[in-house]
Structure 1
Amino acid sequence: MTTYSGNCHCGLIKYTITLPGSIYEQTITSCNCSWCARQAALFIYFPKKEAKYFSGEDDRKSYNATLDPARAFKHKFCPQCGSYMGWQSTEPQPAAFLPGFEGINVRMLNDIDFSKLKLKLEDTRSKYGEYEVGKWYEEKEKEGT
């Protein structure tokens, strides 16, 4: 078992996660959905019970996301500095994505050599489509507002 510490940029949110081995032995997910790509997020998934928050757990702000009716979760970020911390399942909703698990943004962990991580691309754009930046504006224009 290996424990890693992490925090947001300003330090409001501080935590540790415990993994079954070294993070360099784990598969780290690089998702290409519109949110994760813009955040440059890299994820490690682990049981929620393996995370211990020392501060800021309840301060985190949420952004609800649903890739499809069967995959709902909340993106979590720091309310002060805006650091993207990762995602959390929307349990107990029936559409909760990976119940009992959390996805931590590996970029928030301390002392990680990113060049040594084993990355796996999660091609979410091909599965669920591309978010169209500016679509909301085009729709408003068509409505004449």
Structure 2
Amino acid sequence: MSLKGRCHCGATQFAVETPPADVTSCNCSFCSKRGGLWAYYTPKTFKLLTARDRVSTYQWGHYVGQHHHCAICGCGTYSEFPDFSTGQPDFDNPRVSVNARLFEDFDLGAVPVKYINGRDDW
């Protein structure tokens, strides 16, 4: 079952191949201000349905990742990073973090939430 998501105004839309089994809540300085719940996908299972030039990008620090948001309404939509599951960036295994709060017709309350202490662990 594929899932579609969109920002508040609908200018940025995307789809993923499967619903998330769980989502992540992170308390790092960026995520805590952005307020997303993150579902992780491979680039192959994520599809941006909007023209890329309609999406704005924010990068900071070492510029390892790209945080994308709607250029019109400002909703944080998705991010692109190397896999960090081993504690080091794995550039051969990129992943897309999707703001699961933006999924349409999806019961996010039924999905387990994992908490990451990004404020102290990174």
Give the alignment's TM-score, normalised by structure 2. Answer: 0.82
Distance 1:58 1:49, change over 3 A: farther
Percent identity between matched residues is 25
- Residue pair 1:73, 1:97 contacting (<8 A) in 2 also: no
Instruction: Give 2:50's aligned residue.
Output: 55
Instruction: Give 1:87's aligned residue.
Output: 79
Equivalent residues, number = 116
Instruction: Give 1:115's aligned residue.
Output: 109
More contact order relative to length (CA 8 Å, sep ≥ 6): 2
Distance 1:112 1:85, change over 3 A: same
Task: Show CA shifts across 1:97-129 (max 9, x none).
Answer: 68431110001111222221110001101113x
Instruction: Give 2:69's aligned residue.
Output: 77
Give ranges in structure 2 of 5+ residues lacking alignment.
Answer: 83-88
User: 3-state SS of the aligned residue for 1:10?
Assistant: coil
Q: Which has the larger radius of gyration?
A: 1
Give ranges in structure 1 of 5+ residues lacking alignment.
Answer: 129-145
- Higher helix share goes to which structure? 1
Instruction: Give 1:38's aligned residue.
Output: 33
Distance 1:97 1:83, change over 3 A: farther
